[in-house]
Amino acid sequence: MGETVELNIPGVCLNYGLPSPTPRNTFRLVDVNEYSSNPRVRRALRSLATYGTSHGVAQATMWHVCNELPIRDDGRADR
């Protein structure tokens, strides 16, 4: 306890519209159920982690699931 560990973890934003994180931000890992009780969030994250995809598709998918952002025909979230 008290030790600092640096990790590179691929991730996506789950809250559309928040400012982009910077190296000064501190993150805390939480269970998906602690973030959202919506079962679609857990299923989407599990599918993306299991099957993999591009970062852009993963981001558009999670904004769609978490924030009901429409997805365009080209697979991008419609901002």
Residue with tokens 């159920």: 33
| Span 11-40, average pLDDT | 90
Which is more confidently placed, 28 or 58? 58
pTM for the structure as a whole: 0.76
Q: Is the pLDDT of residue 64 over 90?
A: yes
Distance between CA 26 and CA 67 in Å, rounded?
23
Distance between CA 18 and CA 33 in Å, rounded?
21
The first and second tokens of residue 76, run together, are: 């991008």
Q: Is the pLDDT of residue 77 over 80?
A: no
| Span 10-19, average pLDDT | 90
Task: Fill in the DSSP letter of residue 23.
Answer: T
Q: Is the pLDDT of residue 62 over 90?
A: yes
At 23 the pLDDT is 84
Task: Classify 77 as helix, strand or coil.
Answer: strand
